[in-house]
Amino acid sequence: GAGVSQSPSNKVTEKGKDVELRCDPISGHTALYWYRQSLGQGLEFLIYFQGNSAPDKSGLPSDRFSAERTGGSVSTLTIQRTQQEDSAVYLCASSPRPGTGVEQYFGPGTRLTVT
Amino acid sequence: AQSVTQPDIHITVSEGASLELRCNYSYGATPYLFWYVQSPGQGLQLLLKYFSGDTLVQGIKGFEAEFKRSQSSFNLRKPSVHWSDAAEYFCAVEGRDDKIIFGKGTRLHILP
């Protein structure tokens, strides 16, 4: 079946512009996660959704970052007034039963470059 | 809050040699533990996981990991590495709050 998809795969934007990154999880997966992967920094947790609710937003680096999820499915990560330090690969993952040791399924990522 | 430490940023081994990648976690109870692999240009793939029972878990591609509660460790091992094992390896922990935290990763280099 279809896996987690993300779009766009690559995004180049100018400093100060807003960007939207999209994630389509696997159908039926209730949990959705966003991570940021920068060189040498591993996977930095950003936000987690259970259904449409985000019980944990603690990883969002600043108030320029926001995310929403609608219909328990698609999620959008928005970065306002992008800065060069926002350049990274943004990964989305979904899971059918969080908190039970069931693994996450990752998308291919969106590579964001802020010039 | 849980945390994960992978103390080795880079490891180099010769093809055919044994491998051990270290992972230490911090969590108040027994967590769920995972190892993922990210090959160049590829997404993250689950190698193995521990959530209860036998502390030695087997995964794909000939990897295994041992959960040691007393050491708060979940080290990944392989008896004989292949050139195709060159990749970045991530240890992860899931606490009861459903949040999954990853370590910074260990990049594995294989010498011919």
User: Taking a C-beta distance cutoff of 8 angstroms, is the pair A107, A43 a contact?
Assistant: no
Q: Could B100 and A33 be called an inter-chain contact, meaning their C-beta atoms sit closer than 8 Å?
A: yes
Model confidence at B29: pLDDT above 60: yes
> Which of B32, B90, B104 is the closest to A101 by Cβ?
B32
- Say yes or no for a CB contact (<8 Å) between B100 and A109: no
**Is the confidence at residue B9, as pLDDT, over 70?**
yes
Whether residue A98 has pLDDT greater than 90: no
Mean pLDDT of A70-94: 95
Q: What is the mean pLDDT of residues A72-100?
A: 91
pLDDT band at A99 (very low <50, low <70, confident <90, very high): low
Q: How far apart are CA A4 and CA A9, in angstroms?
A: 12
Q: Is B8 on the interface with A (CB under 8 A)?
A: no
Over residues B13-33, the mean pLDDT reads: 91
pLDDT band at A9 (very low <50, low <70, confident <90, very high): very high
CB atoms closer than 10 angstroms to residue A78: 13
Averaged pLDDT score across all residues of chain B: 91
pLDDT at B96: 67
Residue B13: predicted pLDDT = 97
CB contact under 8 A, A42 and B46: no
A46-50, A72-76, A98-102: the lowest-pLDDT one: A98-102
The counts of H helices and E strands in chain B are 0, 12
Rounded mean pLDDT, A19-42: 91
Q: Is the pLDDT of residue A4 over 90?
A: yes
Whether residue A95 has pLDDT greater than 60: yes
Average pLDDT over chain A, rounded to whole?
91
At B52 the pLDDT is 81
Evaluate if residue A1 carries a pLDDT over 60. Answer: no
Residues near B93 by Cβ (< 8 Å), separated by ≥ 6?
B2, B3, B4, B25, B27, B31, B32, B33, B34, B100, B101
Q: Is B9 on the interface with A (CB under 8 A)?
A: yes
Q: Do B98 and A101 touch (CB under 8 A)?
A: no
Q: Chain A interface, mutation test: which of B100, B104, B106, most A Cβ atoms within 10 Å? A: B100
* % pLDDT > 70, chain A: 95
